[in-house]
Chains A and B, each alone.
Chain A
Amino acid sequence: MSTLLDIRNLSISLKLPDGTLHAVRDVSLSLDRGQSLGIVGESGSGKSLSALALMRLLPRGAECRPTRMAFDGQDLPAMPDAAFAHEIAGPRIGMIFQEPMTSLNPVYTIGRQMTEAAVARGMLSGSQARKKAIDLLDRVGIPDPAGRMSQYPHQMSGGQRQRVMIAMTLMLDPDLLIADEPTTALDVTVQAQILDLLDGLRRERQMGMILISHDLAVVAERTDHVAVMYAGEVIEQGAAAAVLRAPAHPYTQSLLQAIPTMGADPARLGAIPGTVPSLMHPPTGCIFAPRCGYRRPDCTSARPPVQQAGAVHDYRCVLSDPPTARPPAQPLAGHGVAGGEPVIAASHVTQLFQSRKGLFGPKREIRALDDVSLALRRGETLALIGESGSGKSTLARIMLGLALPTSGEVTMLGRPVAELTGTERASFVQPVFQDPYSSLNPRRRLAEIIARPLVLRGEGDSVSRARSVEQAMDLVRLPKRLLHTYPSQLSGGQRQRVAIARALVTRPEALVCDEPTSALDVSVQAQILNLLDELRAEMGLTCLFITHDMAVVHQIADRVAVMYQGRIVEEGNARDVLSRPANDYTQRLLAAAPRFDAMPEMEAAR
């Protein structure tokens, strides 16, 4: 089998106003014709930049220095830009991106965007290109492909747009397809379809593929080789089965333990302590050493050597024998509580939204919630799961008392929620939102942010407030030295802790968490999920947890309610619903969720 892609010692640095960011350092990757390579890593690990460097799509001011970057034997850095754009970008290497909603030009038809590259290159005539485009749209599963050619991107759903992107890339028959987080923005059921499609097309066309993802489960299922990146370096790579089932590098091991899995009984997740080091001044030694549980003095003195863990499996670590001992799985602290009496109950709630198309358009009615009844019981964690647009956030707002439903009734502590004052509601239940980057006021210090609910309620004096703030920070394990920092100085995980501390400062009995971990990396998600578990044990918190991730439901929920198109289609004990789903939508959701279940070593270790 011949080598299709050979990248050696790739380094990428970005000039920023306050210094040089060494975003990618000494990365070597190779791929054989027709094979697939997965690049996994958390945000900021340099996986996307490496792919963009290959396509010459790096942002202005980025400097890219490989010792070798060869595609099919051709030396890429030696090619002039025009020749590269004409011969390589498109016809040899195609790329699809994470954001299907914005990656197609909104003002041109699907047909024009699909055919233009082939026609402009003179590869096909207009009518040939049209025919090929229709065939490809049909192949990627777009219904009525001929009719779709004259439509515009905004007339399609996200999943359909990603299919169009894939078909468009295939118009030029590339030998290598780079898919950069192709399904991250999509719902799980759509994700599974798109990944199946990519896999099928790759085999059918003997195409090489690089699949970039933060999701190890996705990569484990779909690729031959895997490279694990951390803070700009490849710290481990090899055959997918070897790397993901018998990881040798401490980072990969920790990362796998941080992922909630559906197979066994839920246990505490193996969160990685600390944060990614600054890439302005990367350390001379091992990049992972500051967070590593196996750290030795020689880790920080020099860069560790590459070691062999198997025939096609190497890792960069001072330990010549991969560490095998894993910390014993600790049981969850607050799990498995049978709920008491209902504390918030929605009965027959219906929410209609009216919208108009433009200034004079006809009114349309959207039924966001359709006769929903749901009760949150004291002490339990109830997971509300559903795909985007299923109405779960709308239901959460109504149960919080932030919005009144069109019809139906919500009671909180046995009283209609409309009768409760804002202060009464707030002292019982507090929300935690999805995006810790936008839900905190960037101009206020942590002490002010966390104290805000107390100030709004006029509770206590400044001394007692300061004490409450410190207690809340203790609860979420935030060190006191951060009291006077701004949100911009914190990592994503720390910010979400601040949001939780702010919710807890008034000592509420219940939290409503709307996708609190979906904007976070898996290692940080593990920290937050563990924290919520501890808080349940310490405070007896009641929790309504909204998520789209089945594995997270398995990890934290006592009960689960499945939402689909504004209705609750299944509700019950989490364990029962996940193991024996009765509703076929729940079954589809479960089947689509990527999983590692067939990993005996992992399970044995737990």
Chain B
Amino acid sequence: MLRYIALRGLLALLVAFTVSLAAFLLLNVAADPAQAIAGEDATPDVVEAIRQRYGLDQPLWVRYGEWLGGVLQGDFGESYYWHKPVAELVADRADETITLALSALSVTILIAIPLGALAALNPNSWIDRVALGVAVSAQAVPNFWLGLIMIILFAVMIPIFPVSGDDTWKHFVLPAFVLGASSVPAVMRLTRTGLIEVMGADYVRTARAKGFRGWPLLRRHAMRNALLPVISVLAVQLGQKFGGSVITESIFAINGLGRLALESILGADIPTVQMLIFVFAIVFVVMNLLADILNAALDPRIRIG
């Protein structure tokens, strides 16, 4: 088991560095960073000066090598725009994004799993149809639009929650709902199909023959089996919440990593963008790793081959 975790961890790290390399190449190929920093109207001399100052005149592989060397020592470089270490910048803003992502995931879990379970236990009933309707609409509505609608409804017309900002828990309710809603359809459907399949499984019939019915049957013999695939998907969804924070944080003016990412992309602040991509990639692979470990812990067929 430990060997399995160690190997998976190593694999995760490799994935993260591959992503960072791809991101680095894309960033530098898409536009001339020196020109972007200097601005459109800058003279060639200024651009050239910036190029030399930030070492942008070096070949790509040297610059990636330097960046990689720094990362391995915990140094992600200095922001072109904020003029302070990128690591410090990211650490300052991480709190908001972690809070947002976790609360969004909670919203997903609290809506999707009970709804999926209800639909599964009453297939083709009105509950099932309502759940399906919710899933389809949630899938069809774009995130930014839902965000604006929520602001109009619950911050402007009925002012329960603040329009924007990140000072109190109240500020996080609407963004968490908006960000969480996008994952509800996938998770709900998976819960529904998984549970329907498990409830028809031979081992559930065995449990029924032993006299288990209703809630004890669900809890003791169906839930764990049905949730195994859901856990993997939730991990991916949590990773996506970090990526998805770019739009949601901008709409609700939350000063987190997503907004930092947007600002640094617009400002061609390459070191910051590089680190954010690296961090998001790490979050993604670590979440997947955690899901695999959790699956192995819950499913003996993986644990004991």
Contacts and interface: CB of A to CB of B under 8 A. Distances in A.
Interface of A: 55, 57, 81-82, 85-86, 88-91, 94-95, 97, 99, 102-109, 116-117, 120-121, 152, 154-155, 165, 168-169, 172, 357-361
| Most chain B CB inside 10 Å of its own CB: which residue of A85, A155, A357 | A85
B4 A105 contact: no
B300 A106 contact: yes
Given A358-B4, A360-B4, A360-B7, A103 B203 contact: yes
Contacts of B212: 85, 117, 120
| Most chain A CB inside 10 Å of its own CB: which residue of B209, B212, B305 | B209
Interface residues of B, number: 29
Given A88-B211, A105-B203, A120-B212, 20 more contacts: A57-B208, A82-B213, A85-B211, A85-B212, A89-B211, A90-B210, A94-B209, A102-B203, A103-B203, A103-B206, A104-B203, A104-B206, A105-B206, A106-B299, A107-B228, A117-B210, A117-B211, A152-B301, A168-B210, A358-B4
B305 A361 contact: yes
B211 A91 contact: yes
B205 interface: yes
A104 B204 CA distance: 8
A95 B202 contact: no
Interface in B276-300: 298-300
A106 B301 CA distance: 7
B98 interface: no
Given A81-B213, A121-B211, A105 B304 contact: no
A85 to B, nearest CB: 4
Interface in B199-226: 201-213, 216, 220-221, 224-225
Contacts of A120: 212, 216
Contacts of A57: 205, 208-209
Contacts of B304: 152, 154-155
B83 interface: no
Nearest to A88: B211
Nearest to A106: B301
Contact of B202 (A99, A168, A172): A99
Contact of A97 (B205, B213, B225, B298): B205
A243 to B, nearest CB: 28
B209 A107 contact: no
A116 B228 CA distance: 22
A520 B105 CA distance: 51
A571 B30 CA distance: 74
B201 to A, nearest CB: 7
B3 interface: yes
Nearest to A82: B213
A94 B209 CA distance: 7
A103 B210 CA distance: 12
A120 B220 CA distance: 11
A55 B209 contact: yes
A90 B305 contact: no
Interface in B130-189: none
Nearest to B301: A154
Contacts of B211: 85-86, 88-91, 117, 121, 172
A506 B298 CA distance: 53
Contacts of B207: 105
Nearest to B303: A152
A426 B134 CA distance: 56
Given A90-B211, A121-B211, A361-B305, A107 B206 contact: no
28 contacts: A57-B205, A57-B209, A82-B213, A89-B210, A90-B210, A94-B210, A103-B205, A103-B206, A104-B203, A104-B206, A105-B203, A105-B204, A105-B221, A105-B225, A106-B203, A106-B301, A107-B224, A107-B225, A107-B228, A107-B300, A109-B300, A116-B210, A120-B216, A154-B304, A169-B210, A358-B4, A358-B302, A361-B305
Nearest to A360: B7
B202 A97 contact: yes
B107 to A, nearest CB: 28
Contacts of A106: 203, 225, 299-301
B298 A107 contact: yes
A53 to B, nearest CB: 13
Contact of B300 (A91, A121, A152, A358): A152
A57 B212 CA distance: 11
Contacts of B305: 357-358, 361
A168 B203 CA distance: 13
Contact of B3 (A88, A155, A168, A360): A360
Contacts of B302: 358
Contacts of A121: 211
A154 B184 CA distance: 33
A90 B209 contact: yes
A48 to B, nearest CB: 11
Nearest to A101: B202
Contacts of A357: 305
A287 B274 CA distance: 77
